Amino acid sequence: MSDAALTKKLEEYLKEYGHGYDSKALAFIRNNFLRYYHDFEHIDILSQIYSHISALSDDRDVYKKFMNFINEKYGLNQDILEVGSGFFPTLAEKIDTYQQSTNKGSITAIDPLLIPTSLGNVKLYKSSFSSNMSLKNYTLVTSMYPCESTVRIIESANAQDKDFSLLTCGCTHFPDYELYYGGYSTVEDWQNYLYRLAKKTSKSDRTIDIDYLSDKEVTTPIISSRKKVKTNS
């Protein structure tokens, strides 16, 4: 897509959704939109827009890749909650498009920064995810780069016996006591901590998996939980 076409699509997007960004976010988007597109670098606030305006090929679209991963591992024709969808819920939008094509399943997106108030059949909630949020209406909880919500999602999903699949971020969000007493500090420590937490808090009939997307720009692991497959002995 040419720079002129990209700029035109960006302006169309901002005409509809620009009111939801603060001045610093808007300045960042305008100043870096073309740069990061050509640098092939994944920046959430920009990549959400690239994907929404169909500026990315399939091999560059991490949202489509993660959606396909979820579909292969769990199937998308179910009731899904996306936590931390960001300013624009691109992953939820893609899941909704798929579900509408099959006429099965539902998708809900929650984030305190959420801008759209209506988007296809996506159920939108502009709020934070809390540990005491009921997951009874969902069969799968997912998130891309949930950052500080990661621990809450894992603990809540396991406590309520729900499948989850989280594409982890490349930063760390240790609870204070783990930093002070656990001696943890690196991204690798964080990823190992999340895996141990998922194992520790899961029920015995669940398996915790570590997977990766086939994407050279996305190197962080996906932590997933699902029921163990019963085999006939």
Contacts of 199-204 with C-beta under 8 Å, sequence gap 24+, read: 201/154, 201/155, 201/158, 201/159, 202/158, 203/158, 203/161
Q: How far, in Å, CA of 66 to CA of 85, rounded? A: 13
**Over the stretch 12-61, which tens digit does the pLDDT of each residue have?**
999 999 999 999 999 999 999 999 999 888 889 999 999 999 999 998 89
Helix (H, G, I), strand (E, B) or coil at 48: helix
Token pair recorded at residue 113: 């920064």
- Strands of 206-211's sheet, edge to edge? 123-125, 106-110, 79-83, 140-144, 163-167, 222-227, 206-211
Which residue has better confidence, 149 or 148? 149
Which pLDDT tens digit goes with each residue over 102-112? 999 999 999 99
User: What is the predicted pLDDT for the residue at 180?
Assistant: 41
Residues 55-91: pLDDT tens digits? 999 988 999 999 999 999 999 999 999 999 999 999 9
* pLDDT of 144 strictly over 70: yes
Q: Whole-number mean pLDDT of the chain? A: 90
Crossing angle between the packed helical segments 62-73 and 90-102, to the nearest 10 degrees: 50
Q: Which residue has the higher pLDDT, 32 or 174?
A: 32
Express as a percent the part of the chain with pLDDT over 70.
90
Least confident of 32-46, 81-95, 160-174, 196-210: 160-174
In this prediction, residue 182 carries a pLDDT of: 52
Read off the amino acid at residue 4: A
Q: 185 falls in which pLDDT band (50, 70, 90)?
A: low
Least confident of 103-107, 157-161, 169-173, 185-189: 169-173
Confidence bin at 181 (pLDDT 50/70/90): very low
Hey, where are the domains in the chain? Answer: 3-52, 70-227
| CATH code for the structural domain at 70-227 | 3.40.50.150
Q: What is the pLDDT of residue 102?
A: 97
Closest-CA residue to 197 (of 154, 134, 135, 147): 154
Backbone angles phi, psi at 206, to 5 degrees: -115, 155
Confidence of residue 173 (pLDDT cuts 50, 70, 90): low
Answer yes or no: is pLDDT of 232 > 90: no
pLDDT at position 177 is 45
